[in-house]
């Protein structure tokens, strides 16, 4: 059976970084892939490291070849690849554990020809997130090209490693790296691919760690004359690309932007404002943190995994984890709850709760339930004088009703909130896949039935055991019936 994904890694004298790269690939949550380690005539221990991985994991295929350069090495890998989708890494970089899963899911769910993702740019001990597109929908070729023309020399668009490709398109049009150039060869590959692709999706989650350590063309030995010639040839291709994408009239309007590529140097944005120290980004949970048995550690284990996955979806939608938890809680509750009760369910305490609620209201994702106007009480007869005891009772009733009114200031999802929460709740499918790995379909069905019965037993026990004199623990429906 052919793998779904072929992951291609050219390797040349990379012994210092190679293990980190390969370990990050073999530790992926998504497992249906082959890894092509292409040893381009390394003179250090890189070849032996590759062979060791091939002996340990059947998904690893190693090719030892003469040194012909990265472009030819990638081309040879394309000839060997068997996957439906293609993913590239450089041997000194690494990826987050969910990288391949997120790329594949986006390709399949949106039925697109290319997925482009954000990435981390690592410089020394600092890193910064890099991205460019905030469009949360499938884009046409012209829409994608319109974004690219704003930053034509940006690494985000030019490199291979933050994208996923369809191998069928590459094979149908025989798209390959140009081995005659050593500058922007991956950018030309992308331009040629984009010319034949129809749909594109931007994954606004950083999944790749790009380690900045490569030199300029001059430092690599390329002469100034050759560099100028290569840049001129690339510009000609770039110019022709936009002529193909746009109609003549539209191209005339953007021609100056196209020409700006002539003096735009390839760039990756440097260390951006708000950069973090390496290791402060989202980190994987360690085994020591979640080992143990019992109800408490079991609940903690599930919550850590759930929040880890939910945080990914939250980042994509420009939400904090607290905001995402509250939206999911509100979407799954059978009744609309007050902010305090919702915070208890979502596990978001004060003062984070009210900060998150304010942000959700400002984003128009939640709104308070519209109060029902109460009928005014009948006026007491004018000749009746209220006793002191009655005054005290009336004052106490007012306070109680005021407190109840605050508690009943319940929250509802807006139309946009319902749409967004639906996307966040897809995290449960990912969790289900993780938990059910290695379990047969028949076993899963039996387990689902058992879990359903367990849930019913828990609800029946909790409702039965709630004392009537503890209104803080009763259900919302029970409280309403009493009133």
pLDDT computed for residue 209 by the predictor = 95
Mean pLDDT, range 284-291, rounded to an integer: 61
Predicted pLDDT of residue 201: 96
Considering the chain, what percentage of its residues have pLDDT values greater than 70? 71
The Cα-based distances of 87 to 20, 31, 83, 110, 290 in angstroms read 17, 14, 10, 17, 32
Residue 112 pLDDT > 90, yes or no?
A: yes
Q: What is the pTM of this model?
A: 0.64
| Distance of alpha carbon 232 from alpha carbon 225, whole angstroms | 11
Homologous superfamily (CATH) of 5-262 is Spore Coat Polysaccharide Biosynthesis Protein SpsA; Chain A (3.90.550.10)
Q: For position 475, what pLDDT does the model report?
A: 44
Residue with the larger pLDDT of the pair 382 and 358: 358
Across 30-34, 375-379, 455-459, which has the greatest mean pLDDT?
Answer: 30-34
Residue 58 has what pLDDT?
A: 96
User: What per-residue confidence (pLDDT) applies to 90?
Assistant: 95
- Strand residue runs (E) in 72-156: 85-88, 94-95, 114-123, 126-130, 139-140
More confident residue, 326 or 82: 82
Return the pLDDT at 86.
99
Average pLDDT over residues 272-291: 55
Higher pLDDT, 215 or 422: 422
Q: What is the CA radius of gyration of the chain?
A: 29
Range 188-199 average pLDDT: 91
From 208-212, 242-246, 410-414, the region with the lowest mean pLDDT: 242-246
Q: Please state, in angstroms and rounded to a whole number, the distance separating the CA atoms of residues 223 and 217.
A: 8
Mean local confidence (pLDDT), 428-432: 77
How confident is the model at residue 277, as a pLDDT? Answer: 53
* pLDDT at residue 266, as a whole number: 43
Is residue 8's pLDDT more than 60?
yes
Residue 284: CB atoms within 10 A of its CB come to 10
Question: What value does the mean pLDDT take over residues 206-219?
Answer: 67
pLDDT value at 362 more than 80: yes
Asked whether the predicted pLDDT for residue 258 surpasses 70, the reply is no
Q: Which residue has the higher pLDDT, 259 or 59?
A: 59
- Predicted local confidence at residue 474, as pLDDT: 45
Region 329-358 average pLDDT: 80
Name 248's Cβ contacts closer than 8 Å, sequence gap at least 6: none
Q: What percent of the chain has pLDDT over 90?
A: 33
**Pairing of β 33-40 and β 60-65:** parallel
- Written out in words, the top-level CATH class of the domain with range 290-371+408-437 is mainly alpha
Domain ranges in the chain with CATH number 3.90.550.10? 5-262
Mean pLDDT of the chain: 78
State yes or no: pLDDT of 75 exceeds 60: yes
Query: Residue 376 pLDDT > 70, yes or no?
Result: no
pLDDT for the residue numbered 247: 63
Residues of the chain with CATH 1.10.10.10: 290-371+408-437
390 confidence band (pLDDT: 50, 70, 90): low
Identify the pLDDT of residue 449: 86
CA gap 441, 250 in Å, rounded: 54
Mean pLDDT value of segment 151-155: 70
- Dihedral of the alpha carbons of 220, 223, 226, 228, in degrees to the nearest 10: 100
Taking CA atoms, 384 is separated from 361, 378, 380, 390, in Å, by 47, 14, 7, 12
Residue 326 backbone phi and psi in degrees, to 5: -65, -40
| Stronger pLDDT, 5 or 451, i.e. the higher one | 5
Identify the residue with better confidence: 444 or 294: 444
CA 30 to CA 357: how far, in whole Å? Answer: 34
Q: What is the pLDDT of residue 263?
A: 44
Residue 315 has pLDDT above 80, yes or no: no
Instruction: pLDDT band for 146, please (50, 70, 90 cuts).
Output: confident
Q: How far apart are CA 61 and CA 257, in angstroms?
A: 43
Q: Residue 312: CB partners within 8 Å, gap ≥ 6? A: 98, 102, 205, 282, 427
Most confident of 197-206, 207-216, 217-226: 197-206
In the prediction, which pLDDT does 293 show?
74
pLDDT at site 252? 52
Model pLDDT, residue 167: 98
First to last CA, the chain: 64
Weakest-pLDDT range from 322-326, 372-376, 479-483: 479-483
Phi–psi pair at 85, nearest 5 degrees: -115, 155
């Amino acid at each position: 059976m052919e793998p779904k994904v072929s992951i291609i890694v050219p390797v040349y004298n990379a012994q210092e970084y190679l293990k980190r790269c390969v370990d990050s690939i073999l530790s992926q949550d998504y497992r249906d892939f082959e890894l092509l380690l292409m040893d381009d005539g390394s003179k250090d221990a890189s070849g032996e490291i590759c062979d060791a991985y091939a002996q340990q994991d059947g998904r690893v295929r190693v090719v030892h070849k003469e040194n012909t350069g990265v472009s030819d090495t990638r081309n040879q890998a394309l000839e060997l690849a068997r996957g439906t989708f293609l993913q590239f890494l450089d041997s000194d970089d690494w990826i987050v554990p969910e990288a391949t899963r997120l790329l594949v899911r986006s390709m399949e769910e949106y039925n697109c020809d290319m997925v482009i993702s954000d990435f981390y740019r690592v410089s020394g001990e600092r890193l910064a997130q890099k991205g460019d597109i905030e469009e949360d929908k499938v884009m046409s070729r012209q829409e994608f090209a319109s974004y690219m023309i704003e930053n034509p020399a940006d690494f985000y668009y030019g490199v291979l490693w933050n994208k996923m490709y369809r191998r069928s398109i590459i094979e149908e049009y025989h798209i390959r790296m140009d081995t005659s150039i050593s500058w922007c060869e991956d950018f030309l590959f992308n331009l040629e691919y984009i010319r034949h692709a129809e749909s594109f999706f931007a994954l606004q989650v950083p999944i790749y760690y790009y380690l900045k350590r490569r030199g300029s063309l001059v430092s690599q030995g390329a002469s100034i004359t050759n560099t100028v010639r290569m840049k001129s040839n690339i510009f000609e291709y770039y110019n022709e690309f936009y002529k193909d994408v746009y109609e003549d009239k539209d191209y005339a309007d953007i021609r100056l932007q196209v020409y700006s590529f002539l003096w735009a140097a390839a760039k990756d944005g440097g260390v951006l404002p708000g950069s973090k120290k390496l290791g402060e980004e989202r980190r994987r949970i360690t085994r020591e943190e979640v080992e143990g048995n019992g109800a408490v550690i079991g609940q903690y284990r599930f919550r850590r995994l759930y929040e880890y996955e939910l945080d990914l979806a939250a980042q994509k939608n420009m939400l904090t984890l607290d905001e995402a938890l509250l939206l999911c809680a509100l979407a799954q509750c059978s009744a609309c709850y007050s902010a305090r009760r919702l915070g208890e369910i979502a596990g978001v305490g004060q003062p984070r709760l009210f900060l998150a609620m304010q942000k959700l209201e400002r984003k128009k994702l939640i709104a308070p339930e519209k109060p029902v106007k109460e009928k005014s009480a009948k006026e007491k007869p004018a000749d009746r004088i209220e006793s002191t005891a009655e005054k005290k009772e009336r004052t106490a009733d007012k306070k109680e009703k005021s407190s109840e009114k605050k508690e009943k200031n319940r929250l509802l999802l807006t139309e946009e909130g319902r749409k967004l929460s639906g996307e966040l709740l897809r995290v449960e499918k990912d969790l289900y896949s993780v938990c059910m790995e290695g379990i047969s379909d028949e076993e899963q069905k039996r387990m689902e039935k058992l879990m359903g019965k367990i849930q019913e037993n828990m609800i029946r026990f909790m409702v039965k055991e709630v004392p009537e004199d503890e209104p803080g623990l009763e259900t919302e429906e029970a409280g309403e019936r009493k009133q």
